[in-house]
Amino acid sequence: MEVPGQFPYTRGIYPTGYRGKLWTMRQYAGFGTARETNQRYRYLLAQGQTGLSMAFDLPTQIGYDSDDALALGEVGRVGVAISSRADMEQVFAGIPLDQVSTSMTINATAPILLALYLVVAEEQGVPWAKLTGTVQNDILKEYIARGTYIFPPTPSLRLTADVVEFCAKKVPGWNTISVGGYHMREAGCTAAQEIAFTLADGITYIQTCRDRGLAVDDFAPRIAFFFNCHLNFFEEIAKFRAARRLWAHIMKKRFGAKNERSLMLRFHTQTAGSTLTAQQPDNNVVRTTLEALAAVLGGTQSLHTNAKDEALTLPTEESALLALRTQQIIAHESGVTAETDPLGGSRYVEALTDRLEREARGYLTKIDKMGGMLKAIESGYVYKEIYRSANEHQKAVESKAKIIVGVNEFTSEKLPQLKRQKIDAQLEPRRRRELAAMRKKRGSVDKQLAALEKAARGTENLMPVIVDCVRRQVTVGEICRVLRGVFGEHRASHSI
């Protein structure tokens, strides 16, 4: 029988499980303005949350400032709007950056948002070496499922590796990539596909960084993962176990990693948004509890529990608090933290673990035969696999082969009455005024932008020049306009 804390880490990366250290409770939040987000963060920290998780609005994620015509209607909607240094400073006002760890869901613009965070740390007098946190920086799954890409894959991977390399030298406590299966699972893929496609993305990142001459053990320990946790309770627990085992083998055999920490698959988990229903929203608390419990039994390092109203709107303060309380109850009242991998040795769970490992290996072999994940993505293979699974799921729901309580069975006539989070209608005009004033006061940044363009045309690491730009209040949109000019833009061509 395998042992927790030992290769291949199927039963967990630490021998003592949660007895040594509980998972980090990290609720994804952020909306509207920097000021509102700052208030929500302070509230969550005061309630006992142990890490921040930053949501950005779509313009910020796709490299448009709040006053760009393409940002119309989207500013502050799905996260906080960050265009310049002033916004980032306000988000973290009164939150000392050496005392929190911050996870940022940011991909195409990850180098810029990381640079902004570093500049805020400077401002607060916190040395970069003391910072802990994560940038998602996982562009490959954006082409597959989430859609916030900007540039074509090749220059995008360059930016990914720039962050990895820069942090390995200057921000050693920073997790440089959070390789995500979450969004592919939300888009409809199965548990085995989630493992395979996520690890295939991970393999591509490791390979890209090695190709630029980095030694695997110098950067791999700072690459983490991000999984979904669905409702199929035992299969999900087995999924985490299979993913750990598979990754340890890949790192050892394929990449020759020696450092134990390179072999360990560390991961964040979020409960499955796609399992939540708009109908009978209170039921979602139960779904989320089951999913969170599976993530904990699967040995997650950090966890986000969804709020019950997320099938309808952004969570309210009350629903966000209940979501946090859900994991606090699991942590402190349920007793499940007493034993490491308590289901290890269960005939059923071990068999499921083996089956998922086998299925995921099958996909990985297929992807290798296609010439790697980048090729598999570009050919549309991954996308089609995921949406085929999504279509099958929908058909099963419609035929009632799959029951969803409150949706296709046990329904009630009463429609949900939920408080909806309103985004201030004056937000966009106000942001436009603020940015205009900032640009006027700041003066010309032509020199910085010219330096950026020159660097982008060459091969050097772009992080230093981006840090320099944001220090001088160059905006996210201005930086991306230059990079779009040099790298071009990715256009998806998918047919159904």
Partner 1 sequence: MKRPIKILIAKAGLDGHERGALVVAMGLRDAGMEVVYTGIRNTPEQIVQAAIQEDVNAIGLSSLSGGHAAQFARVMQLLKKAKVTEILVFAGGIIPDDDAKKFKKLGIQEVFGPGSSIASIVEFLKKNV
Binding site for partner 1 (CB under 8 A): 58-59, 61-62, 64, 70-74, 77-78, 142, 145-148, 186-188, 274, 277-279, 311-314, 387, 390-391, 394, 397-398, 404, 407-408, 420, 423, 492-496
Residue closer to partner 1, measured from CB, 312 or 445: 312
Report the distance separating Cα 260 and Cα 6, nearest Å.
9
Task: Give the helix/strand (H/E) hosting 112.
Answer: helix 110-124
Distance of CA 294 to the CA centre of its chain: 19
Nearest Cα to 52, choosing from 168, 134, 113? 134
**Minimum Å distance from CB 380 to partner 1?**
12
- Measure CA of the first residue to CA of the last residue in the chain; give whole Å: 46
3 vs 407, which CB is nearer to partner 1? Answer: 407
* 260 three-state secondary structure: helix
Residue 177 beta carbon to partner 1: minimum distance, rounded to whole angstroms = 19
- DSSP bridge pairs for 302: 24, 268
Q: Do residues 331 and 217 lie in contact, with contact meaning Cβ atoms separated by under 8 Å?
A: no
In terms of CB distance, is 334 or 391 closer to partner 1?
Answer: 391
- 28 bridge partner residues: 53
Residue with tokens 């040099």: 486
Calculate Rg over the CA atoms of the chain. 22
d(Cα 177, Cα 179) in Å, to the nearest integer?
6
* Residue 202 tokens, joined: 């991970």
b/e per residue 379-394 (b: at least 16 CB within 10 A): eebbbebbbebeeebe
Q: Are strands 174-175 and 28-29 parallel, antiparallel or unpaired?
A: unpaired
Helices 446-457 and 463-471: angle between axes, nearest 10 degrees: 170
Q: Minimum Å distance from CB 216 to partner 1?
A: 32
CA distance 29 to 309: 14
Whether cis (ω within 30° of 0) applies to the bond prior to 8 is yes
Least distance (Å) between residue 383 CB and partner 1: 9
Secondary structure of residue 127 in the 3-state scheme: coil
Q: In angstroms, what is the minimal distance from the CB of 59 to partner 1?
A: 7
| Closest separation in Å from C-beta 391 to partner 1 | 5
CA 475/CA 453 separation, integer angstroms: 15
Task: Kindly report the three-state secondary structure assignment for every residue of 29-54.
Answer: ECCECHHHHHHHHHHHHHCCCCCEEE
Q: State in angstroms the smallest separation of the CB of 141 from partner 1.
A: 11
Q: Which two tokens mark 116?
A: 């902004």
**Residue with the two structure tokens 């954006």:** 142
CA distance 35 to 80: 9
Neighbours of 482 (CB within 10 A): 20
